[in-house]
């Protein structure tokens, strides 16, 4: 392999690595945006995809805790998002 080809390979590898790091950083920023959202916002965005959002008064705080765990697996939300939503619903 000629030295020129090796150099080209190194440049391509570094560019690829840089892109991967960029994507990772952008990915983290996106999830930070999610964590800036309030419980009410997350509830409105996540809980009416499949059914009408039940009003906070529908269930007791203990019941919301259980509902939250059950619906977390349906809505595919993070623990943090679930905690925020459940805290909002308990109010």
Residues that bind ligand HEC (CB under 6 A): 46-47, 49-51, 54, 67, 70-71, 74-75, 85
Of the candidates 65, 70, 63, the one whose C-alpha atom is nearest the C-alpha of residue 83 is: 65
Between 28 and 50, name the residue whose CB sits nearer to ligand HEC: 50
The upper half-sphere exposure of residue 2, i.e. CA atoms within 13 Å in the direction of its Cβ, equals 3
Of the candidates 34, 27, 16, the one whose C-alpha atom is nearest the C-alpha of residue 82 is: 34
The least CB distance from residue 51 to ligand HEC, in Å, is: 5
The least CB distance from residue 18 to ligand HEC, in Å, is: 37
The least CB distance from residue 4 to ligand HEC, in Å, is: 55
Of the candidates 48, 50, 37, the one whose C-alpha atom is nearest the C-alpha of residue 78 is: 37
Between 34 and 54, name the residue whose CB sits nearer to ligand HEC: 54
């Amino acid at each position: 392999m000629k030295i020129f080809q090796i150099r080209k390979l190194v440049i391509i590898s570094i560019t690829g690595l840089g892109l991967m790091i960029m994507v990772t950083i952008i990915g983290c920023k996106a999830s930070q945006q999610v964590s800036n959202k309030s419980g009410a916002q997350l509830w409105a965005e996540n809980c009416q995809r499949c059914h009408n959002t039940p009003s906070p008064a529908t269930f007791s705080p203990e019941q919301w805790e259980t509902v939250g765990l059950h619906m977390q697996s349906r809505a595919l939300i993070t623990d943090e998002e679930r905690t925020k939503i459940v805290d909002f619903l308990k109010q």
